[in-house]
């Protein structure tokens, strides 16, 4: 494992940073802020715009083609919600620009690099933990895989500790961190994220909650507005509200328990000392998060 400063020092500049989805953007922004390189510019979209505005407000931004044309190294995210990062890797290949991709999770490694049947792999992969590094080396044998210290996770945990409620004040507070389920769960009557949410609501007693619980749903950055309004209205007994915290650390500072399927926010919650529960229902692919401290509701409710 190397520090961001050490890893960035090995890169030929100028450096292009391209990101859309929140996962890789969070890692990249924290690494870039720590690295201190002054020859970087970016092309950003989606949740990455606000993330970089907080962490790297002075980072210049350029149109994608102009950015790649003037850069010697590309560092891109590997999200699902946009073709921006994939397009950047295509341009980098044709421009002889070295391509590095950041993988922020533990699922669908190969699929991240394909759009419409066209696969464009980077020359190197960066990850932030040993499990992700091991998996990447299996999926991409012979490719350079580097594990960088997780600067984002450290910043998040420190921010939670500064503003968190006393433990007694948050013991009945439950934060549900949502995410679109893109894995193949078979032929389902509803999207997987709603089936998991239903399972959670049905099995609250297995978590020790019968009454007095305060529940907040925190939508994923890629979720459209209003996605969960009907579900909240259909469960009035839970008195659920949408989480309005502008940052994840603010949401975690309120919570005693954090539930969800397998989003990275659960990893942050565990590192911040919260009880964390995966709500993936029985019969579905198991939670891929490798952290042993994450409880499985399917086991608790069995």
- Both tokens assigned to 149: 């210290």
All domains in the chain, ordered by first residue: 4-149 (3.40.50), 154-300 (3.40.50.2000)
Instruction: Give, in order, the Cα–Cα distances in Å from 14 to each of 42, 68, 218, 220, 288.
Output: 11, 9, 37, 32, 36
- Both tokens assigned to 236: 């009035």
In contact, 235 and 210? CB cutoff 8 Å: no
Digit-coded pLDDT (tens) for 126-172:
999 999 999 999 999 999 999 999 999 999 999 999 999 999 999 99
Of the candidates 88, 105, 106, which has an alpha carbon nearest to the alpha carbon of residue 97? Answer: 88
Residue burial 57-80, b: 16+ Cβ < 10 Å; e: rest = eebeeeebeebbeebbbbbbbbbe
Q: Is the pLDDT of residue 185 over 80?
A: no
| Phi, psi torsion values for 115, nearest 5 degrees | -140, 130
Digit-coded pLDDT (tens) for 6-27:
998 999 999 999 999 988 999 9
In contact, 253 and 163? CB cutoff 8 Å: yes
In contact, 40 and 31? CB cutoff 8 Å: no
pLDDT category, 76, cuts 50, 70, 90? very high
Number of neighbours of residue 201 by Cβ within 10 angstroms: 17
Spell out the alpha helix ranges (H) of 17-120: 22-35, 47-55, 64-69, 84-94
Give residue 26's pLDDT: 93
Q: Please name the helix (run of DSSP H) or strand (run of DSSP E) that holds residue 115, with its range, or none.
A: strand 114-115
Handedness of CA 253, 203, 282, 112 (dihedral sign): negative
**Residues of the chain above pLDDT 90, percent:** 79
Digit-coded pLDDT (tens) for 85-135:
999 999 999 998 999 999 998 888 999 999 999 999 999 999 999 999 999
């Amino acid at each position: 494992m190397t520090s961001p400063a050490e890893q960035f020092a090995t890169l030929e500049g100028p450096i292009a940073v391209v990101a859309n989805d929140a996962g890789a953007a969070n890692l990249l922004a924290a690494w870039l802020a720590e690295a201190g390189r002054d020859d970087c510019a970016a092309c950003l979209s989606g949740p990455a715009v606000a993330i970089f505005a907080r962490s790297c407000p002075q980072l210049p931004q350029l149109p994608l083609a102009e950015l790649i044309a003037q850069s010697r190294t590309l560092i891109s995210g590997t999200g699902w919600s946009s073709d921006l990062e994939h397009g950047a890797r295509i341009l980098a290949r044709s421009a002889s620009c070295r391509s590095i991709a950041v993988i922020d999770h533990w699922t669908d490694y190969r699929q991240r690099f394909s759009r419409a049947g066209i696969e464009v792999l980077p020359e190197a992969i960066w990850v932030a933990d040993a499990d992700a590094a091991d998996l990447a080396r299996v999926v991409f044998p012979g490719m350079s895989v580097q594990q960088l210290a997780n600067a984002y996770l450290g910043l998040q945990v420190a921010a939670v500790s500064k503003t968190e409620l006393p433990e007694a004040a948050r013991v009945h507070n439950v934060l549900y961190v949502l995410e679109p389920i893109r894995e193949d769960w078979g032929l389902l009557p509803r999207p997987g994220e709603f089936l998991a949410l239903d399972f959670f609501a049905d099995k609250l007693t297995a978590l020790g909650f019968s009454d007095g619980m305060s529940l907040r749903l925190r939508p994923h950055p890629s979720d459209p507005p209003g996605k969960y309004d009907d579900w909240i209205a259909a469960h009035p007994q839970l008195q659920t509200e949408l989480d309005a915290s502008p940052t994840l650390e603010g949401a975690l500072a309120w919570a005693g328990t954090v539930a969800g399927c397998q989003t990275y926010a659960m990893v942050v919650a565990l590192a911040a000392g919260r009880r964390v529960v995966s709500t993936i229902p029985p019969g579905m692919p198991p939670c891929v998060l490798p952290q042993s401290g994450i409880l499985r509701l399917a086991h608790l409710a069995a």
